[in-house]
Amino acid sequence: MDSARQGRAGRDVGCNLCSALDANVCQSPNVETPPPARTPLVRQSFQAIPGRRIVCRGQDLHDTLPIICSGWAAVIVMLSDGSRQITSFLLPGDMISTTLLFESKPNCQIEAITDVDVRFFNRTDLNALLHKNPELLDTFFKAWVEEKSRSDQLIVDLGRRTADERIARLILGLAERLSKREMARGGPTEFEFPLRQHHIADATGLTPVHVSKVLSEFRRNRLINISERSITILDPVGFDRVANMR
Amino acid sequence: MDSARQGRAGRDVGCNLCSALDANVCQSPNVETPPPARTPLVRQSFQAIPGRRIVCRGQDLHDTLPIICSGWAAVIVMLSDGSRQITSFLLPGDMISTTLLFESKPNCQIEAITDVDVRFFNRTDLNALLHKNPELLDTFFKAWVEEKSRSDQLIVDLGRRTADERIARLILGLAERLSKREMARGGPTEFEFPLRQHHIADATGLTPVHVSKVLSEFRRNRLINISERSITILDPVGFDRVANMR
DNA sequence: CGGTGTCTTGAATACCATCAAGTCTTGTGG
DNA sequence: CCACAAGACTTGATGGTATTCAAGACACCG
């Protein structure tokens, strides 16, 4: 089964960029690591969530910092007329939001795209640990800077770029993040791609109909190929040109 | 002169929300405060920058965290074809970006909108202080959460709202931030408003021409009035409805 | 088997951009 | 103080990009 392969793939990788692993507070990481010198006391719970399910709403985030251990998820802001905006895709090792290190009730919800494993770290314990070992801050600063950078990029894309550019840049951005996690498939231009077109639409501020038309155009020009929840960049140079037209 | 009045107004207010004041590291705040119990050692320099001038580019941010002391500035991302996206407006007390607490070379530039006073805090000293007094973190966490929240809001606005909504929300967002700084003029619905229409365009992802048309429409409907670098919200209820149509 | 979710395609429409011309203000140097 | 240039704003005409509406193909699942 396709989902079984995805599941295993998700289990085996992704931790290498995880802040919790970096900070040595994860109790059972998926990758091999040297045994922790001293076991840090950060309470945590683990949850497996099937695809398309809501992981949590902004109001539910009581006192934990959740981190994705495997699978893909999306941070979504809902508007009263039913339209949605995805502000961020979450890959293995990503915190739902770095602001959750402190208190913060974001007005959003997290949806699982694929089956997802999530680990919830106790915020109070994390903060106590942080105040005791300020050098741990650097781990979270890195995630913070990365989050901010992607967020600014998205603002520019939505404000000043065409549909073609937005979609190409979304795909390339995800490809780069997957590469860093060593989650490429086969060659360096083939990746797991579980997004539905409506996910792309919600992330790029477009309609699903128009996303379909743009992707068809990409295929017609032999830039990319999408099938079997997988994407191949056939013409990296040409596709990069589409993504960086200005 | 108008600019002279703006200058004085800027000198007298705005510090009340400043993180540097909150953390007690500012050497000469504009507002009255109790004398610091112990003078913390954070080197800092001060610079007055005339309107329309570039405050600094992303690459220039060597080892300081700059904070706006008075006046308005904008964080701008430039694209190679000359188009621009404003990711954030900076008001008195705002850090240019919380990510500058650490190292981070943002791909943007800061432009003064009005005459601006900026204080540059030494990052190394700030970090040292932070590692010694972890309770100071809360001050910066607050700024971080605020920055993230506004950034997410902008993503939703650019992705899923019409020109009318975007512009109304921009104005209301600024009005709210000015209120918190006690920078309202006369009543609670009148504010300093030094933005040019091209600033609004660059912030909302629209063209200056279309911004002009939308603002004219707002005026025709007696929702707002803009004149003399000042804005009055004539119909708060109606204007709010425009800003929150979904 | 019907139901649901996903994707595709075409036609009509809406929203905003682009182009262009003109007014008015602001600043500058003679 | 005036002439001139540059910037800021307005308004109308035209065009392009993306939305909306609609219908149908296809796969998957209970």
Confidence of residue A7 (pLDDT cuts 50, 70, 90): very low
pLDDT tens for residues B134-144? 888 889 999 99
Of chain B, the percentage scoring pLDDT greater than 70 comes to 92
Q: What is the pLDDT of residue B37?
A: 54
Verify that B122 and B186 share a domain, yes or no.
no
Q: Average of pLDDT values for B234-238?
A: 97
Q: Does residue B187 form part of some domain?
A: yes
Verify that B177 and B90 share a domain, yes or no.
no
Residue A80's Cβ-count burial label (10 Å; 0-12, 13-18, 19+) is: exposed
Q: Does residue B215 form part of some domain?
A: yes
> Does pTM surpass 0.85?
yes
The last residue of a domain, from among A157, A184, A215: A157
| Residue A162 CB in 7 A reach of strand D | yes
Q: What is the pLDDT of residue A162?
A: 98
Chain B residue numbers touching A81 (CB-CB < 8 A): 245-246
Q: What is the pLDDT of residue A40?
A: 66
pLDDT, mean over chain B: 90
Q: Write down the H helix ranges in chain A.
A: 2-12, 19-22, 123-132, 137-160, 163-180, 197-204, 208-220, 236-243
Q: Among the listed ranges B33-47, B74-88, B102-116, B189-203, which one has the minimum average pLDDT value?
A: B33-47
Pairing of strands B64-70, B116-122: antiparallel
Verify that B44 and B118 share a domain, yes or no.
yes
pLDDT tens for residues A197-218? 999 999 999 999 999 999 999 9
Q: Average of pLDDT values for A70-76?
A: 97
The last residue of a domain, from among B149, B175, B196: B149
Verify that B22 and B141 share a domain, yes or no.
yes
Q: What is the pLDDT of residue A36?
A: 60
Q: Does residue B154 form part of some domain?
A: no
Identify the CATH number of the domain in which residue B217 sits. 1.10.10.10
| Residue A215 CB in 7 A reach of strand C | yes
Q: What is the pLDDT of residue B61?
A: 85
Confidence of residue B146 (pLDDT cuts 50, 70, 90): very high
Strand D proximity: list residues 203-232 of B with CB under 7 Å: 208-209, 212-213, 215-216
pLDDT tens for residues A75-115? 999 999 999 999 999 999 999 999 999 888 899 999 999 99
pLDDT tens for residues B28-73? 888 776 665 555 679 999 999 999 999 999 888 889 999 999 999 9
Verify that B90 and B181 share a domain, yes or no.
no
Cα A143 from chain centroid (whole Å): 12
Q: Does residue B135 form part of some domain?
A: yes
Domain count, chain B: 2
Verify that A220 and A199 share a domain, yes or no.
yes
Q: Does residue B156 form part of some domain?
A: no
Give the closest nucleotide to A226 (alpha carbon vs C1'). C7
Range of the domain at A80: 2-157
Amino acid at B209: V
The answer to whether A55 and A73 have CB atoms below 8 angstroms apart is yes
The last residue of a domain, from among A157, A177, A198: A157
Is the pLDDT at B169 greater than 80? The verdict is: yes
Q: Average of pLDDT values for B235-243?
A: 98
Q: What is the pLDDT of residue A4?
A: 35
Is the pLDDT at A225 greater than 50? The verdict is: yes
Confidence of residue A3 (pLDDT cuts 50, 70, 90): very low
Verify that B117 and B137 share a domain, yes or no.
yes
Q: What is the pLDDT of residue A160?
A: 98
Verify that B108 and B176 share a domain, yes or no.
no
Identify the CATH number of the domain in which residue B131 sits. 2.60.120.10
Q: Does residue B155 form part of some domain?
A: no
Compute the distance between CA of residue B223 and CA of residue B215 in angstroms, rounded to an integer.
Answer: 9
Is the pLDDT at B222 greater than 80? The verdict is: yes
CA to C1' distance (Å), from B5 to D2: 29
Verify that B214 and B186 share a domain, yes or no.
yes
Q: Among the listed ranges A71-75, B59-63, B152-156, B191-195, which one has the minimum average pLDDT value?
A: B59-63
Q: What is the pLDDT of residue B220?
A: 97
Strand C proximity: list residues 194-213 of A with CB under 7 Å: 196-198, 208-209, 212-213
Verify that A147 and A173 share a domain, yes or no.
no
Q: Does residue B211 form part of some domain?
A: yes
Verify that A220 and A173 share a domain, yes or no.
yes
Verify that B120 and B212 share a domain, yes or no.
no
Q: Does residue B115 form part of some domain?
A: yes
Q: Average of pLDDT values for A185-206?
A: 95
